[in-house]
Structures are given as C-alpha cells and as structure tokens.
Amino acid sequence: MYNVKSMDSNEFIEDGEVLQSINEAKKFVKDKDEIDRILSKAKKYKGLTHREAAILLEIDDEETLEKMYKIAKEVKEKIYGRRIVLFAPLYLSSYCVNNCKYCGYRCANKIGRHQLSQDELREEIKALEAMGHKRLLLEAGEDDKKCPIEYILECIKTIYNEKFENGAIRRVNVDVAATTEENYKKLKDAGIGTYILFQETYHKPTYLDMHSGPKHNYEWHTEAMDRAMGGGGIDDVGIGPLYGLYDYHYETVALLMHAEHLESVHGVGPHTISFPRLLPAEGVDYSNFPHLVKDKDFKKVVATIRLAVPYTGMILSTRESIEFRKELLEVGISQMSAGSCVGVGGYAKRETIDEDGIEEKPQFDLADHRKPIDIIKGLVKDGYVPSYCTACYRVGRTGDRFMPLAKSGNIGNYCLPNALLTFEEYLKDYADDELKDMGKKMIDNEIKNVPNESQREKAMDYLNRIRNGERDLRF
C-alpha cells in the first residue's frame, strides 16, 4: 500500500500508485479546466503533486505545451534567475563488480581499467582548475576491494588540499554506490557537498533485469537517500533516473514520489535532480532498449519537473547536443557540466592503455565536446550568467536552511551576487579578451538586478576587490 512516510521503497514508490496516477492522467488531460488549474497552481511557485505532474506529461497540444514551457521558464527565473551553475565530473576508477546492461563500465566488458593514483589525481585537479572549475562531481565504479570508501575519502582530502595560483577546487560532490550510514557519515565528515545517486530506473522489474552484482538489490539502492540523510547526516542529496530504461511517464511520476517522500520524512526534498538520457556505450546494444525518449518528450519531462519541484537545482550533462542543451535551459535547467571527460585520467590526457595492454574506454559517449570557455561564451550570448558559486555549501546554507530561501524566492539575494563574483574571478583568471569584454558588459548590467540594495552595494564592493586581486569573496 502507498505510504509516503514509509521507509520501505516498495511503499513510498508503490507501483500501483504510479500506474493509477498515469491512468488517471490520461483521462484528466482532456479536461481543459483541470489543465488550467494545474498550470495556474504551478505559476505560484509552490510546486505540484506527482498526480498533477502526471497530467502535464500527457499533454500533446502544442499551444498548451508552449504555455507550460513559458511558465516553467518563469518559475526557474523567479527562484534562480538567469544564472547557470557549471561543474565537471571527475572519474576516479573504472573498476566495477556490477554488470549493468546499459553501462560501458559493466564488469563483463573486456576494456582496459584504471584507478587514479593520488599523483595522477593531482594532475587531473591541476588540469580542471586551469579550465576554471571550482566544483566537481566525483564518479567511480562499484568495487569495494579496488575502490573502497577509504580511497574515496583520500581522494577528497587530496582535492581539497590542492592550491593553485588562481584558487582551488572549493566543493566536491560525490556519486558513488549506495552504501551504509557509517560510510555516509564519513563522506559528510570529509566535507562533501551533495551526495548524488542515480536511481537508473524506478520500475522494479526493469531494475532487477538491468542489474546484476551488488547493485541488483532494489531496496538497498532506492532507500540509500534515507540512510544518507538519516544516520549519515548528509544535508543535500541528488536523485534522477536514467531516461530510456523504462517508460518516461513511470520514471517521472516515481521520481516525484521519491522527492515527496524525502521531504515528508526528512523535511527536505532533493537538492538536485539530474536528467541523464541513455546513450550508446561500449558493449551495449542500443537497439535492446525500447523506451528511448524522444527530444520533444524529454523537453516536456524537464519542464514538468521544474513546475513540480521549483526549489530543486536541475542538472543537464554533456550527453545532450549543444542545440538541445540550449533549448532545455529555457524550460528549467539551472546547472550543467562543462568540458566533461567521462573516462579515467582524461583531463590530464593520461595514457589510456592499461597494464595488460588493453585500451580503456569512457563510460558512455558525449554529444557536447566544447571547452568550458566556449560554453561560457555561449551562455553569455544567450543572456545567462555563468556561475561557479559554492557559497551555500561553505557557509552552511544547506538542507533545511537552504530550502526556505529557495521556496520563497529569496535565494536570489545570494545566488545572483555570488554568481557575478565567481564570474568576475573567471574573467580575471581564465578568460580571453573576447570573453572579458562580453563578461564585463553582463556584470555591469546584472549587478543592477540584485534585489536587496545593501546586498547590491556589498556585491559592487566585492567586485572591485576581486578586480584588485582578492579571491573567494562570497555571501
């Protein structure tokens, strides 16, 4: 039986409730008054239930879709403004004991494998910092012998200890396999930002079919966030399915039920939701997946989730094309990766032949291969403010201290000035002349949009101090 407060994943993401929500949505989508009611509710920035969101997923009328996209854009900009947070994934190890059917790192694949030494990690950090990155997402395959939690903790320590002329990596987010409360506590104590774990698929039969190895345990995986936020003490978590493994209606409704569960039990919903979409990978037969999501449906998913959970940071990876990333920014995306490498040691251009002479492979193929500076230029041209902000993590504005600010829209008093400060740092330390000119014009215009007068004056003072050589000023 469906129970949002249950700690059993089979009850807080109850299959019958998901299916009933989808079936009812097919009926209600024909009710224009109901659609108008849902969109009017969404426009108030208070979110939607999973059942209301299910109805929006059924819309196919172009006029109504355009109305929904317009509201999604308004909601995103009301809470987060036009700023886009940038980050990079960092792969530590390609060893994995799981045999997930969709993954290039599956253990059955005869590919070269590697795990970064601490010296190699330092080279990766050096290369990433030279691109201007300040926040990373650590990735690693699941292998408790070759890649135990102690190795992950050592890597985090190494990253935080590396200092360069222009700064350092200021925040590490982590995406590692579901683990124990004790290990989550260790990650918390190591100073991580957000703990991210992709569900892959919420549809239990599909989940069991797709996974073998330790990851095969649906309950252990799906209940990981409760362990992380409970005994683990982690404030911010990130969730998201791998779209394309099962029907996108089911995945989205279940995802929102997961978000409702976290907020109901822990008082805080997901800090971020990611939107990975299934892509070709080494040893994966792409034709075996009948639920691949078309662009038009994927755009609808992104907009629906923005309306349903307006407070949540929404992340888009370099899996998507340049053109489509641009389109999705307009309907709710607030964070994106830049200059990504999805292989081990790729930023420092490490040799990719392992000790057995076998060529290593990335986890999956990418669609956006631009350098960070080119992505930033594109953002500025389109009227977005690039942000490398890590302030909320570092001043303790996380979890139940972050959410009230986000839900009220007051986070803008922090987000915009912090975005401008980190963008000014980037311009001074990494930009070419073209971007410096573009960026100065944007900052001069955007500083006027900081809502609070005292915050605005303080931000202007901070900008001048950064121009005179200071770094890491923040609100």
Q: What are the boundaries of each domain within the chain?
A: 77-369, 398-467
Q: Where are the beta strands (DSSP E) in 321-362?
A: 335-337
Tell me: pLDDT of 298 over 70: yes
| Residue-level pLDDT at 52 | 98
CB 38 within 8 A of CB 54: no
pLDDT digits (tens, 9 = 90+) for 105-161: 889 988 889 999 999 999 999 999 999 999 999 999 999 999 999 999 999 999 999
Tell me: pLDDT of 182 over 90: yes
| Residue-level pLDDT at 319 | 84
Q: Which amino acid is at 159?
A: I
| Residue-level pLDDT at 159 | 98
Six token digits for residue 222:
């799906």
Relative to beta strand 135-140, strand 171-175 is parallel
User: Residue 355 — pLDDT band, cuts 50, 70, 90?
Assistant: low
Residue whose C-alpha is closest to residue 386's, from 311, 446, 296, 308: 446
> Rounded to an integer, what is the distance from CA 92 to the centroid of its chain?
18
Work out the average pLDDT over 185-208: 97
Tell me: pLDDT of 358 over 80: no
Tell me the three state secondary structure of residue 207: helix
Residue whose C-alpha is closest to residue 175's, from 206, 202, 144, 198: 198
Work out the average pLDDT over 88-97: 95
pLDDT digits (tens, 9 = 90+) for 236-260: 999 999 999 999 999 999 999 999 9
Tell me the three state secondary structure of residue 317: coil
Q: Which has the higher per-residue pLDDT, 346 or 255?
A: 255
Contacts of 157 (CB under 8 A, 6+ apart): 190
383: left (phi over 0), alpha (psi -120 to 50) or beta: left
pLDDT digits (tens, 9 = 90+) for 24-41: 999 999 999 999 999 999
Sole residue written with tokens 């992340």: 315
| Residue-level pLDDT at 451 | 82
Half-sphere CA count of 270, side-chain side, radius 13 A: 29
Tell me: pLDDT of 360 over 60: no
- The residues pairing with 272 across neighbouring beta strands, listed in sequence order, are 238, 313
What distance in Å separates the CA atoms of residue 270 and residue 87, rounded to the nearest whole number?
18
The reported pTM is 0.94
Six token digits for residue 406:
């986000």
φ, ψ (nearest 5 deg) of residue 195: -95, 125
Three-state SS annotation for 296-312: HHHHHHHHHHHHHCCCC
CB 345 within 8 A of CB 124: yes
pLDDT digits (tens, 9 = 90+) for 454-465: 889 999 999 999
How distant, in Å, are the alpha carbons of 30, 67, 244 from that of 55? 9, 15, 20
Work out the mean pLDDT of the chain and round it to a whole number: 92
The CATH architecture that domain 77-369 belongs to is Alpha-Beta Barrel (3.20)
Percent of the chain past pLDDT 70, that is, above it, reads 95
How distant, in Å, are the alpha carbons of 43, 177, 288, 312 from that of 47? 9, 30, 36, 10
Contacts of 464 (CB under 8 A, 6+ apart): none
